[in-house]
Structure 1
Amino acid sequence: MKFSSKKIIFTTLPIALGVFLIWYSLAKLKPEDIESIKNSFKTANYWWVACSLLLGVLSHLSRAYRWQFMLDPLGYKPKFANNVMAVLVAYLVNLIVPRAGEIARATTISKYENIPFEKAFGTIVSERVADAVMLLGIIGLAFVFQTELLSSYLFPEDDGSTGYTYYILGGLGLIGVIFTWLIRKSKHPFAIRIQNFVTGLIQGIVSIFRMKKKWAFIFHTFFIWIMYVLMFYVVTFALPETTHLAFGAIIVGFVVGGLSMALTNGGLGSYPIFVASALTLYGIDENPALAFGWIMWTAQTVMVLFFGGLSFLVLPIYNKEED
């Protein structure tokens, strides 16, 4: 009963938070703001949105193909169609229960390809290591591009502001080094969990370079994340206000939007707010920035619902015919 209650809270709390954020973001809008956002939706160039969806499909296909490089060494060669549909079902499940998609993906491929769940899930965890490294790299890029912007906001009247910012970053780096040293020496359960996480991360990275087709795996990893960034980038051309965004703004908006996905189910409510707050730092008015966030989130969500739902329905039919 206790476990069931925790599970219900874990499932419903992000959804409730997302609904609250939607209400909050709409409640503070004036009637003219709502009309402005509606007008952005009406006049948006949806050809670019369609282009974004195409890039999203390519990323999913690449992810499904990359998965095979993890399964091959274990002696399994599932049908590519099943790989693709398992990946799409995972995205669909993540909209309902955060982080349950990985379990759903392993369960799906186990059911239709007779791959043991533990082995399938292990390959997915290893994939996530590569994705975590890519995300950390993009976050690092975001901080690099954000440095000058932060300087202008923190020290608007100081010509030597950039230097002060580097001192702050250097201080944070020193704190990070000290924190790392303390974690390595500590025997506290929390510290041990961090140690085990870092160890697993390193082992996962090393295992990738020991893979038979490591360069193909690395290529697809880069390809997937380039598609993710391009999905965000091309939608900026859908609205005239966001057409001329600098590369730094694209990276920062992408990272902020990605982080919002961890806050609520699929970024429900949080994605448009987070992305809009990032774009306003680059001089975009709040209403078109919010419209951009909603257009981006809606397109992604509709794609996941359509292809994920379709995969859920087609999987048993496809595999029955194959039998």
Structure 2
Amino acid sequence: MNTKRILIILGTLLSIVLLITVFSRLDWETFFKTFQTIHLPGILLAAVIIMINIALRSLRWNLVARIPITHFKHFWQAANIGYLGNMIYPARAGEVLKIIAIHHFVPLKLGKAVTSAVLDRVFDMITVGIFTLLVLWIHSQKVDPNLGRSVIGVFILATLVLTLLIIYANALQVRIQRRSFQDKWQWLQEWLLHAVEGVQALRQTSHLFLILLLTSLVFMFDYFWAWQVMLALGWSLPFEAAVTVGVFILLSVSLPSAPGFIGIYQVACVLALKLYGIDESVAVAYSIVMQLLSFLIMGIQGTLVTVYCGFNLSQERQQDLSHLPE
């Protein structure tokens, strides 16, 4: 059994265990009453923000890939296919599907498609680190200090590595070009060169500023729509509560889980909202509203794009490993 199948099995088991644990502790009367308090306009506003955010993420990926903005539509389509894939398949298969999709839609080599997607995620990782530090500072009296030190260490390391790559990108490119690779490793040399080209693009000040601006907007909109759901439920929590929930969710979805991060998502919301005195049953209801809303938007957009583009999701999923070298 390969590593991928093991991760799928472990992720599914973890999600099942977490769901059983969470729902066994519910006060069902409180849980169902929470849904009765929903203010529909707030939910509709949150849905619009989710759609805007998908467009902003697609635009950032477009810029990172250094492809003319006229191809923005294709990056938006590929991103939606990726979100749909993550909802349906385990092990974040949507990340592979969106790379394959953009490779089909745009004259973009597969190696460059991969490196552009990875670099796009690097900006997310660094920004998550910044907001994680903010949440740790806000809740310094309630969070284990060892966790704070670990997050700070990872954040500093990731930032340092990216900075060194940007500074020494030209030297790395020369070394890779001079090094002779065996035929079976030619793909590795090509991918490394594409990765270096992507890092070199970040040295363009105006380009980097726009990417950083989009990244900031993406995260603030993410937290804003999470806050809108809180307001729609009649809660009077500060905006920082949505930031806390967002950070807990982003850190938790890095763990193996079932499709759509079911189970993991619920536990993340419960742990985050516990810091604000929100009852566990109410927090689970909030997590379900959040998840259903994002599933609805991403599912509809992803399905429409898949049908419109004639992209065979299941076929590409079955062959996804064949597109990527071992």
TM-score, length-scaled by structure 1? 0.75
2:83 to 74, 88, 91: 91
1:208 to 177, 198, 202: 202
Residue 120 of structure 2 is matched in structure 1 by 127
Q: CA deviation at 1:144?
A: 0.9
2:97 to 104, 109, 117: 104
Residue 186 of structure 1 is matched in structure 2 by none
Distance, in Å, in 2 between the alignment partners of 1:104 and 1:284 is 37
Name the amino acid aligned to 1:146.
H
Structure-to-structure mapping, 1:150-165, within 5 angstroms:
150=143
2:249 match: secondary structure: helix
1:45 aligns with 2:39: yes
Runs (4+) off by over 6 Å: 194-197
Name the amino acid aligned to 2:79.
V
Name the amino acid aligned to 1:131.
D
Q: CA deviation at 1:77?
A: 5.6
Name the amino acid aligned to 1:89.
I
Q: CA deviation at 1:107?
A: 0.9
Contact 1:102–1:121, Cα closer than 8 Å, also in 2? no
Residue 24 of structure 1 is matched in structure 2 by 21
Alpha-carbon RMSD across the aligned residues, in angstroms, is 3.1
2:71 to 56, 79, 89: 79
Contact 2:86–2:92, Cα closer than 8 Å, also in 1? yes
2:108 match: secondary structure: coil
Residue 270 of structure 1 is matched in structure 2 by 264
Distance, in Å, in 2 between the alignment partners of 1:44 and 1:172 is 35
Contact 2:132–2:151, Cα closer than 8 Å, also in 1? no
1:147 match: secondary structure: coil
2:243 to 244, 251, 272: 251
Q: Tell me, which stretches of 5 or more residues in structure 2 are unaligned?
A: 167-198, 312-326
2:277 match: secondary structure: coil
**1:45–1:247: structure 2 CA closer, same or farther, 3 Å change rule?**
same
Name the amino acid aligned to 1:203.
L
Looking at CA atoms only, which structure, 1 or 2, has the larger radius of gyration? 1
Q: Tell me, which stretches of 5 or more residues in structure 1 are unaligned?
A: 155-167, 181-193, 318-323
1:13 aligns with 2:27: no
Name the amino acid aligned to 1:94.
N
Distance, in Å, in 2 between the alignment partners of 1:127 and 1:278 is 26
**1:118–1:172: structure 2 CA closer, same or farther, 3 Å change rule?**
closer
**1:172–1:303: structure 2 CA closer, same or farther, 3 Å change rule?**
closer
Distance, in Å, in 1 between the alignment partners of 2:64 and 2:294 is 27
2:29 match: secondary structure: helix
Q: CA deviation at 1:27?
A: 2.3
Residue 117 of structure 1 is matched in structure 2 by 110
Distance, in Å, in 1 between the alignment partners of 2:210 and 2:201 is 14
1:98 match: secondary structure: coil
1:293 to 279, 287, 308: 287
Distance, in Å, in 2 between the alignment partners of 1:88 and 1:16 is 27
Name the amino acid aligned to 2:245.
G
Q: CA deviation at 1:231?
A: 1.7
Q: CA deviation at 1:201?
A: 6.6
Q: CA deviation at 1:225?
A: 1.0
Contact 1:267–1:297, Cα closer than 8 Å, also in 2? no
Distance, in Å, in 1 between the alignment partners of 2:227 and 2:37 is 18
* Alignment length (residue pairs): 275
Name the amino acid aligned to 1:125.
V
**1:172–1:58: structure 2 CA closer, same or farther, 3 Å change rule?**
closer
Identity of aligned residues (%): 21
